[in-house]
A and B are shown apart, each in its own frame.
Chain A
Amino acid sequence: MALLGTLSLVATACGPTGPSGGSTAAPEEKPVAGGRLIEGSFSDIKTMNPMLVADVPSSTVTGKIYDTLFYADPKNGELKPNLGKWTISSDSLTYNWEIDPKANWSDGKPVTGEDYLTALKLVAMSKLTVRKSNFQDIEGWKDFVDGKATTISGVKVDSADPKKFSVKFAKVFCPALVNAFGSSAGPMPTHIFGKYTAAGQADAIDKAPENTAPTVSSGPYVFKEWRKGDQVILTKNQNYFKGAPLIDEYVFKIVADATVLAAQLKTGELNYGTVEPKDLADMEAQQNLKVFKYQALSYTYIGWNVKSTTAPALQDKRVRQALAFGLDMDAVVKSILFGQGTKMVAHHPPASWAAPGAGLNQYPYDKAKAEDLIKQAGFTKGADGVYAKDGKPLEFSIVANSGNKTRETLLQVATEQYKAIGVKVNPKLEAFETMVDKLTTGNQEIQGWIIGWSLGLEPDPYGIWHSSQIPDPAAKKTGFNFGAFTNPEFDKAIEAGRSGNCSQAERKKNYETFNKILNDEQPYNFGFSPNTLLVVPQNLRAIDPGTFSATWNLEKWWFKQ
């Protein structure tokens, strides 16, 4: 099970009741407390310290124990106050926060601004965290990391009201709100973790027993037991600031694979889990289950190495466009995803606010057009049905990671369909780790590849598309812009989107430019964005999941008897 990446971590934040909370319950139904929510997962959690989390299962569980300052609207991803509410100074550099007066830790101590500072200090002192760069623009961050200061000067807790604090950044950075106040920066209990932040005990936090057995909670549930490799058990937090949850227990249960997960949803051994499209019909046929379908913030694509010298055809935009016209992605979605997905023609999935509204070439399946474009690029069809130029056939390899059925299938379909337009594909399967190595180090063996991106709340595409992220084997530089696509206008749009005007409208404009260039240049065949298919029992009430969060109103959920 290859993870798409860790970017989707922020999407699991919990939040207060929105206006639509409880909309699925008929008016005469009275919520009752009790029951147990059992979520199925394919792998165990690794840690319950949000500063150290780097995998989806851990963030799923940790998110229920440590609440975050804001939460994302499930439908449009808009950030809303949760544990805290905020204002931003006119120069976009200072964020002023006030933590909810009712917000307490499960042991009754109030959640304060000091707890936010503790979280930051823990990240700074951990040797094993991967979250440090989220905070690098905060004033005084580096001095604290280097041990030159005993605190982070940019973070100021109001001495009159400990619930208030401000954070000052050294430069304008639009993703700062999501990055520096999201799930890896939720307040951490100073009265528990404070002992690890004292000077001179670097990496003590990495060995803290509370990482695997948290003692207090700010979220709807408190930790009870971790039966390694089998289940994690949480019980409700009676002191939760939005009211104690109605469901008594939350259990995170490990199962072998998607088929078993689906089977256990049917038997009721699990009552919360996402299934694969192939199991959808079976799930919908069950009287006792209901399925929520919504777009995921991810996509599976075929990437092209646009600088490849071994497959020079991929350098030509017309060939890449032909490869978009020549693959019937709607049929792929129908067969691989059973219709549960959307064809993609640019980077941001339609559910994201950063996605362009209109004006993109949709590249409808058109074999004739594809072949025309190939001919325009100077290729002629040979006797073997494969196009060639200067005696060299239009041929390249596409590699996908073995074990991922969706990608394996896409590879097989692409190989067959490209053959029909006179393009010879050499399909290859490799272990995920081998592919990761080759891609991130810029190994030029790579011509085409299939992998996926899982995007987060923050749409900044810098890490994936900026020219600085092109891996360079000579300089031993790694990066995620594997295909080495870039152009100056494109870079400019990306930069403006992160450090120009941070209003959503302005950023959207920049991302429109960005997406249109991608749409035209086709450095990827952008593939498809799948739907999330969340299955729960028919009698689960008040659940209202969306692309950006499924569990934002968890404490309101209840089982009708």
Chain B
Amino acid sequence: MATTTADIAAVSPVAVPARRASAGLWSDAWYRLRRDKLTMASIVVLVILIVLSAAAPLFEEHVFKFKFAQQDLLGAYAKPQLEKPQYLLGSDELGRSQVVRLLYGGQVSLFVGFFAAAIQLTIGVSLGLIAGYKRGFIDDAITFFITVLNSIPTLFLLLIITALFSPSALTLIVILGLLGWAGITLFVRGQTFSLREREFVTAARTVGASGFRIMTKHILPNVLPFIFILAAIDIGTIILIESALSYLGLGILPPTPSWGNMLSNAASYFNLAWWLVVSPGVMIFLTVLCLYLIGDGLRDALDPRLRGAS
């Protein structure tokens, strides 16, 4: 399992460019990004994965003609084959189509990743902005809370919570979202600290802009590019955590397929059908890899100073 804190540490040395967020920053970044073949390839692969998962019902109906819950007990453990399109990637212990379930599993895994990350980012960014901008008592309170949170073995606690509550998919998303935002807050808080002393912020304050307006209109746009980096890495990490939870039987519960629970299920049948273990593992790996590479590429694009080869 990847480490939320360590990942954030890996991106945090980035300094915020000393200028206002402008079309320039974005277009420069985009220009550099386009020349970064690896990142572009990752984006393309990720988009394909998302589209395929989103289009799962269409594939189910028109291409494979096999419902994702449909069973064929006699066709269990079929090898990957071209003769029966529904068994393109083989069939599981109930004769269900692995490929169709992978597509639906993608929906679930990506959904969990994106939404839990959205919750983490919303909490993390808002608290970070507030703590960094307001300072004083509010900052102290938020920082103390984070200190406490950081002193709890998070992953440990997450496993205990899921073991005790065995949450549904939605609850799981909320739990994941509520636990991993501390690193984001600290990062955004740090950035806000330095940004609030910049001329354009002071200028905005002099013309009487409200705190809320300064935070959202002036500071947030400057932090935003880095939030994209954090988001990409965050989503990947959450997908990994979900798969680990599912491996322990604590994540998304069957019959709803997720890549994690398909993997965990297949792991107990690997001597009968090793190919069932391969495909969900590859999907998780590929998705997370793409997300991390995108995160990396974005960082390089936004801060060329750190670019290795250039």
Contacts and interface: CB of A to CB of B under 8 A. Distances in A.
Which applies to chain B's interface (DSSP): helix, strand, loop or mixed? loop
B71 A402 contact: no
Contact of B166 (A411, A416, A434): A434
B249 A403 contact: yes
Interface stretch (B41-49, B184-192, B261-269): B261-269
B166 A430 contact: yes
A416 B71 contact: yes
Interface string A400-444: 001101001101110110000000000101110010000000000
B94 A412 contact: yes
Contacts of B73: 331, 334-335, 413
B94 A413 contact: yes
A278 B272 contact: yes
B283 interface: no
B255 A335 contact: no
Interface stretch (A120-128, A256-264, A385-393): A256-264
A535 to B, nearest CB: 14
Interface in B192-209: none
Interface of B: 69-71, 73, 76, 93-94, 163, 165-166, 249, 253-255, 265, 267-272
Contacts of B267: 259
A282 interface: yes
Nearest to A428: B253
Contacts of B268: 257-259, 278, 405
A430 B167 CA distance: 9
Nearest to B249: A403
A335 B265 contact: no
A402 B271 contact: no
Given A416-B71, A431-B166, A409 B271 contact: no
Contacts of B269: 278
Contacts of B70: 416
A259 B271 contact: yes
Contacts of B93: 278, 335, 409
B71 A412 contact: yes
Given A405-B265, A413-B71, A431-B166, 13 more contacts: A259-B267, A263-B271, A278-B268, A278-B272, A282-B271, A282-B272, A331-B73, A335-B73, A335-B76, A409-B94, A413-B73, A416-B69, A429-B254
Contacts of A495: none
Contacts of A431: 163, 165-166
Contacts of B271: 259, 262-263, 279, 282
11 contacts: A258-B268, A278-B93, A279-B271, A408-B255, A409-B93, A412-B254, A415-B255, A416-B69, A416-B70, A429-B254, A431-B163
Nearest to B76: A335
Contact of B254 (A258, A282, A408, A430): A408
A416 to B, nearest CB: 5
